Each structure stands twice: as C-alpha cells, then as structure tokens.
Copies of this chain bind each other. A is one copy, B any other.
Amino acid sequence: MSFNPLIEKIIAMKNPTVAGLDPKLDYVPQYIREKCFEQYGRTLEGAAEALLEFNKGLIDALCDIVPAVKPQMAYYEMYGWQGVRTFTRTVEYAHSKGMYVITDGKRNDIGATMEAYAAGHLGMTDIGGESFAAFGADALTVNGYLGSDGIEPLLKVCAAQDKGIFVLVKTSNKSSGELQNLLLEGGESIYGRMACMCDEWGKDVPGKYGFTGVGAVVGATYPEQLTELRIEHPSIFFLVPGYGAQGGGAKGLAGAFNSEGLGAVVNSSRAIMCAYKKEGCDESDFAGAARREALRMREDIGSVL
C-alpha cells in the first residue's frame, strides 16, 4: 500500500497535478451531445455515452503530460447505472493510456460494509471462484467520520498492491470549518485530529518517497492549514482540490509540498474540462484547449515548487 506509482508518474512528468473528470452534461461540447442523443436518444444512456466520448477525448489529450485523473462518482451516479457504466469505462480507458486513477467517492461505512466498497473500488470481487475488478481504481477518497473500523478494510485491500486512500481532512468548501475547525478539549482541531488518525492508519506502510498509503484531502482554498498540516504530518501525501475554478491560486499551494517538491497532487476539474469555453475556441478543439490549460497549470504550479 502506497502512493509510489503516482509519485513516480509525477516525478517523470514533472507535474504534480490530477485532472478531475466531473463531466456535467453542460460541459460536454454540443456536437458530442447531439451525436449521442441522435444515436441513443435524450436518455440516461445518451447522456452517459456523451460523457464517455468527452472523457476519452480529454484523456487522449492529457495522458502524456498529466499523471492522473480523478473521476468524481457523483457526476456519473447522476446519470444512473448508465452513468456508472461510463465511469467504469473511463477508468479502463485511463488505465489503457497509462494514467493513475483516483476515484473521488468519499466513501464511508462500518467495517463489514466498507469491505464491500474496498473490494468494489480498489480490490477484487469474488463470484463463485472467479475474480473481477468491479471498478479497479488506484486510489479512493474516503471519509473518516466512522473511525478505524471504517478504514481498516481499505488498508487490507490496498496492502497487497500499491494502492492508496485519501481521507478527508480539511475540505476545500466554504463551510468546511463548521465542523472541521472546531476545537477539541485540549485545543486540537477536528481536522488536526483526523490528520493524526491518518498518520496512525498509515504508519505500518511507509512508501519509498517518505509518504504512507493513507493520504489526506486538504483544500487549496485554505493555504494556512495546508502549510500547517504539511509541517506537522510529513508522511501524509495530499490530494489538493480547489485550485483554479474554486479560487485557490498556485501561490497558496507552495506550502503543500516539501523541500523536494513532493507531497501533493493538485486537482483541477472545471478549468481543464471547460477550457474550450474560457478560451472561446471552436468546441471541436475542446481537447486541445484542455491540454493547453493543463500545461499552463503545470507551469503555474512548477513556479512555486
């Protein structure tokens, strides 16, 4: 269990970023939507096919410069099981292009049930003696509100493979402090406590770059906490959302990385997916625009490392 495969790709591409694949139908160029609606109707299936074609275009354009993609389950579930089928095919396609896949599902449950999530998202499902990777991602975001026995099944599934989990610590949204910033008796914050739990969960599985396989989600929108957590938890690898569309700038990201320029992977979703809208280029050039934005982002983040 580790983030070694992700970190190796980051080093090779000199790019600590991940492209979020959160494909709202509105983000998909109209010509793709129209084509899929014509073939499959204005249905969940039609929408799901449009998302898949969009994702494939993005993956083709990004796979040699961006180490990872992060499909957000919500945007697939929104289109029913047909959307989840597109999610599955997106993971497969990204893998076929050599990309590392982080499923953003923020899953959480009690032990026995977490075993099912762990098997489905990261491990294998046994069916009468045959073994299948249901979704087969490389990492999964999870929520630690239920404590250790909601996390341990994931550690087991990740143990035999170089897979990892990112636990929500300090999320990027405006109201994240309502609970996460509250102080416990003794003065520790709830997000600080959660980070300590991540250390505990990951302590038996140090990776070769100094990071365990139990990472943390820490928002770029809170640069102070990002810096504080980096200093206090040098072994926790960060997944950092909130860069770009959510308003976090590269300057605030510097604190997420250690002196070797490692320690975090920064996500951008909308800014990459909808780069063609911002650029105002022809929508058939959506993938080219996504690549240009990803290169801009690499340069921007590289400048603070």
Measured CB to CB, the residues of A under 8 A from B are 22, 24-25, 33, 37, 42-44, 46-47, 72, 74-75, 77-81, 83-85, 87-88, 106-111, 113-114, 116-117, 119-121, 125-130, 132, 134-135, 143-150, 168, 171-180, 182-185, 187, 190, 193-194, 197, 241
Contact = CB atoms under 8 A, between A and B. Distances in A.
Given A44-B132, A127-B46, A179-B193, A145 B146 contact: no
Q: List the number of copies, as a whole number.
A: 2
A113 B217 CA distance: 15
Contact of A72 (B43, B113, B129, B144): B113
A108 B37 CA distance: 31
Q: For A85, A114, A197, which residue has the most chain B Cβ atoms within 10 angstroms?
A: A85
Contact of A43 (B110, B114, B127): B127
Given A179-B144, A180-B147, A184-B183, A110 B77 contact: no
Nearest to A25: B127
Given A77-B117, A83-B134, A109 B106 contact: yes
A134 B77 contact: yes
A178 B134 contact: no
Contacts of A43: 127, 130, 132
Contacts of A75: 113, 116
Contacts of A183: 184-185
B47 A127 contact: yes
Given A81-B85, A185-B185, A120 B178 contact: no
